[in-house]
Amino acid sequence: MDARAKCQGCRSSEPLPFDFTMAFHPIVDVERHEVWGYEALVRGTEGQSAGSILNRVDEANLYKFDQSCRVKAIELAGRLFEPDSDTRLSINFMPNAVYEPSACIRASLEAARRVGFNPHRIMFEFTENERMSDTGHVARIIAEYKRLGFITAIDDFGAGHAGLNLLARFQPDLIKIDMELIRGIGDSAARRAIVAGIMLMARTLDIAIIAEGIETPAELRALRDAGIRLFQGYLFAKPVIEQLPAVAFEQAAQAV
């Protein structure tokens, strides 16, 4: 599919063949005891899982789906977030669904303008789990998003296909450490050593760290000892569809 066809697919008035919405999951700053941001996670309109929606995405609707997810997340954030706060909105995107960074971001910018949401509060996450055929293209996306003032992040760091090779090509603002590296870290010297190495590398490159998938006070305690302050996981809250969930900040206090 050439770039013109992709562009026409995004702009087409033809609706997606399925409905979806977004759930919101908090990213918590445990030092400040406040919500740093919320990640928008795709869900079915009747609570269906992300997988059930993503299974309906194919080559014909991939580009329109990626654009629609961004717009839906921004529109909901414009309604749910405090307008004068600096709480961030984190949106997952598919690098392989972005054919031209400056063109593909226009719908997101228009949605932000329409609902009065500061685009500098938007963080775009891409996962290294998605096999990337052209890392140079990903580097161009990151550079353009940074130029426009967006926050950028690598999701699931340590779990995917490219890992350190991606980081050598481009440096995002944040890295989200994959939950598989975190699970049981309190009882694993090897996992603690790996996370310490990631922290050292991130400090050298001036990249912030988010630890995701936190489920136990022991995991939180070990990661706090490593110097991490931004966390995401069921220990604090579960995602809620079209609402901002209450956050159990007392979990952080118990783990210090």
What pLDDT, in 10s, does the model give residues 122-132? 999 987 555 55
Q: What is the DSSP letter of 165?
A: H
Q: What is the DSSP letter of 84?
A: T
Distances (CA, A) of 255 to 23, 178, 221: 27, 20, 5
Q: How far apart are CA 97 and CA 77, in angstroms?
A: 23
Confidence of residue 3 (pLDDT cuts 50, 70, 90): very low
Rounded to the nearest 5°, which phi and psi values hold at 108? -65, -45
Q: pTM of the full predicted structure? A: 0.90
Q: pLDDT digits over 169-194, tens only? A: 888 999 999 899 999 999 999 999 99
Q: How far apart are CA 112 and CA 76, in angstroms?
A: 10
pLDDT at res. 97? 73
Q: pLDDT digits over 25-40, tens only? A: 999 999 999 999 999 9
Q: How far apart are CA 49 and CA 113, in angstroms?
A: 30
255, 224 Cβ separation under 8 angstroms: yes
Q: SS3 for 235?
A: coil
235, 248 Cβ separation under 8 angstroms: yes
